Amino acid sequence: MAHPDYFTQALVTEINAFEKSDDFQTAFGNGIIATEGDQWRRQRDVLQPFFTRKQVAEYSDQMVEATQRRVDTWLDREILDIEDSSLSQVRSVSLPLWLAEDFIYRSP
């Protein structure tokens, strides 16, 4: 069910075949994941420079370290709220990277 080809199909090759329901919009708001059309294109154009291979390589080690620190806090057999844990991790990893003094966008 989570085969990479399915993601490529839904997000790239057949993106128009998969509509986003009102429930999806409610759950994910107006961010790039939930928007479509011109709004999606504008958001993608703004974010794209931060996700080039070179840019991601520059901060991937920090992301891995932050994730490992989070995993190290988990207890054996602990039940986690995956949504809460994921959102918290995204915030704790991305905000420091994006706000760091040494995080500078470099045009490709």
Q: Which of 19, 17, 21, 39 is nearest to 30 (CA)?
A: 39
For tokens 């420079």, name the residue.
49
Token pair of 1 as six digits = 């069910």
* Extents of the domains making up the chain: 1-51, 52-108
For helices 53-72 and 82-99, angle between their N-to-C axes, nearest 10 degrees: 130
**How does pLDDT run across 72-97, given as a tens digit for each residue?**
988 888 898 888 888 888 888 777 76
pTM of the model: 0.49
- State the sign of the Cα–Cα–Cα–Cα dihedral 9, 13, 14, 16: positive
**How does pLDDT run across 21-77, given as a tens digit for each residue?**
777 777 777 887 778 889 889 988 988 887 888 888 888 888 888 889 888 988 888
